[in-house]
Amino acid sequence: MGKLTSIEELRRLQRRTQEGRDPGRLRVRICMTGCRAFGAVEIRDAFKESVGGNGLTGKVDIVETGCHGFCARAPVAAIDPYGFFYQQIAPKDVPLIVEQSLGEGKTVEKILYRHPQDGRPITLEKDVPFYREQMKIVLRNCGQIDPTRLEDYLAREGYLGIAKVLSSMKPDEVIDEVVRSGLRGRGGAGFPTGNKW
């Protein structure tokens, strides 16, 4: 990706990255931040080996993502387009995930999250109680993108806020927006950021 010289170039690039994504494509989204401490690197490597050994090379994207937010169940991974959520995965579980989930579109029940009250398995990431009650705004891309790939962020409408600021807002409007947001500083005292501007 070359240097962008205009807001319109940014918007065109963003549209191209979105259009180039197949929402039905098989993807394994593996947390590669905090989950590393619990074996995520070995999980990723096992997926690469098992996908290749099952004739799925080129048919499955293995995506190293930022945190999915549920560190207590590490290591975690999600399978798209189904939305399956696996937790506390061990490398020995991966061949079964590849065979059943990627190959057949079925879950591997033993590594699904279990409801804390009745123990029933929960198949979909969006139905896990920890996630279901959340309305992610700033963190909406957690566990969705590879943070080292700008294309992933652009495809999820990244940088549109700065594009708006640079192309259609006056400095006072930007400050007013920051004041209205209630955003606080990170220096410890929590002073309103808008007042600092």
* Bridge partners, residue 85, by sequence: 78
**Can you tell me the distance from the alpha carbon of 63 to that of 78, in angstroms, rounded to the nearest whole number?**
10
- The CATH superfamily assigned to 7-155 is Glutaredoxin (3.40.30.10)
Q: Is 157 buried (19+), middle (13-18) or exposed (0-12) by CB count in 10 A?
A: middle
**CA distances (Å), origin 82, targets 20, 27, 123, 159, 196:** 19, 9, 9, 28, 45
> What backbone torsions phi and psi does residue 158 show, to the nearest 5 degrees?
-65, 150
Question: What's the predicted TM-score (pTM) here?
Answer: 0.80
Nearest to 180 by CA among 193, 162, 170: 193
Q: Where are the domains of the chain?
A: 7-155, 161-196
Nearest to 164 by CA among 173, 153, 151: 173
Residues 110-168 pLDDT 10s? 999 999 999 999 999 999 999 898 887 777 777 777 788 888 888 888 888 888 898 89
| Cβ neighbour number for residue 15 with a 10 Å cutoff | 12
Residues 31-57 pLDDT 10s? 999 999 999 999 999 999 999 998 899
> What backbone torsions phi and psi does residue 86 show, to the nearest 5 degrees?
-115, 140
